[in-house]
């Protein structure tokens, strides 16, 4: 379990680095970038379960908060931890086909993440306007994540087979 959390967290940290450097500068549409870390978190949460999803999401959220986005430390940890949990409880119940399910999961995970971030903003009275969470940028990012989820999930599936070996013995 600790090995799985370490591998997933490392992959998410690499995705965040890629997201804040290369993707931000070259693949942004109207200054909206896809959330590669969110897509990978959702994939690995569904594959590995809610405990791996929660820990990896929390640690990825800390890394994202340290990168500084105008939100307080831990803001993204709450959102990513919750996403990791919610999609992790789908382990064994969500099966990815090559196109439709990744597209839908990419769309809905972005909307759910923004809703969680809005709730945290509202509960802690952080003062960010509603448009930061539910504006045109959400539509663009949701579509972007939905389309990008198809190759990301295929790549993550390949990475999972190479880095994460199944356990021997009982699987229960």
Domains of the chain: residue spans and CATH: 2-160 (1.10.1760)
pLDDT in tens, 81-137: 999 999 999 888 877 788 899 999 999 999 999 999 999 999 998 888 888 888 899
Average pLDDT, the chain: 87
The whole-number pLDDT of residue 18 equals 87
The whole-model pTM stands at 0.87
Q: Beta-carbon neighbour count of residue 4 at 10 Å?
A: 19
């Amino acid at each position: 379990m600790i090995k799985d959390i370490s591998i997933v967290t490392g992959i998410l940290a690499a995705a965040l680095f890629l997201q804040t450097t290369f993707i931000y500068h070259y693949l942004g549409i109207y200054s909206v970038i896809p959330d590669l870390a969110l897509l990978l978190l959702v994939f690995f949460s569904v594959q590995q379960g809610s405990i791996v999803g929660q820990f990896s999401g929390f640690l990825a959220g800390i890394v994202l908060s340290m990168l500084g986005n105008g939100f307080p430390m831990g803001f993204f940890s709450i959102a990513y931890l919750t996403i990791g949990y919610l999609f992790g409880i789908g382990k064994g119940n969500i099966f990815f086909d090559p196109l439709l399910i990744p597209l839908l999961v990419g769309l809905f995970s972005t909307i759910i993440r923004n809703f969680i971030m809005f709730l945290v903003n509202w509960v802690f009275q952080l003062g960010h306007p509603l448009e930061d969470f539910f504006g045109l940028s959400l539509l663009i990012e949701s579509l972007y994540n939905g389309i990008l989820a198809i190759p990301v999930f295929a790549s993550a599936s390949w990475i999972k087979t190479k880095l994460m070996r199944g356990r021997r013995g009982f699987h229960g």
